[in-house]
Amino acid sequence: MTVTEQTDQAERPADENRDRLVDVELDTSLASVRSADVEHERQVAIFDLLQENLFRVIERCPGPYKLVLSIVEGRLMFNISNPDGRDCAVIGLALSPFRRIVKDYFMICESYFEAIRTATPSQIETIDMARRGLHNEGSEILKARLNDKIEVDFDTARRLFTLVCVLHWRG
């Protein structure tokens, strides 16, 4: 642990040190090569997630936690362990509640990335508002699906939803 990590942990309340993610990985072994835009979204989401999050596995081992997200046989899998590698929980969610919102989100993101290159600022702002609205909707769905399994706050759900979308991305 670095001095900065020790200082950061010392400044947090004890529960905040426990109820959080300290490492996040995506199992992208089945995914195709991602565009630079998607890769950037992934990096930013993981960075932001590790900087600030609320993540607590309900009625299981205490954190802090390491998370590996993957898609296996049509299920979104949360493989959760302690930082030392001891397994804590494996939670699977059906992907069907996410299909429409992820599809719509991809379409609006493609429009957004294209607009950044060619559109006026007001057009970009309009598309970005729609993109954020869909992102918020997906985050609420994820938060609700995790409700009795993992406690997350809205910002953590937003960043996790971004990672769910990255896992779905096919090119």
49 lies in a domain?
yes
| Domain assignment present for 1 | no
Structural domain includes residue 103: yes
| Residue recorded with tokens 């759900």 | 157
Tally the domains of the chain. Answer: 1
What tokens were used for 62? 């205490």
Return averaged pLDDT per consecutive 10 residues of the chain, 171 residues in all. 40 63 84 68 89 92 93 92 92 93 90 91 94 96 95 96 82 41
Q: What are the tokens at 82?
A: 């302690």
Residue 81 placed within a domain: yes
Partner residues linked to 91 by β-bridges: 78
Give the SS3 label for residue 94.
Answer: strand
- H/E segment holding residue 167: helix 154-168
Q: Can you give the pLDDT at residue 32?
A: 57
- pLDDT score, position 31: 56
In a domain, 73, yes or no: yes
7 within some domain: no
Domain of residue 65: give its range: 14-168
- Output the pLDDT for position 77: 95
**Angular region, 85: left φ>0, alpha ψ -120 to 50, beta rest:** left
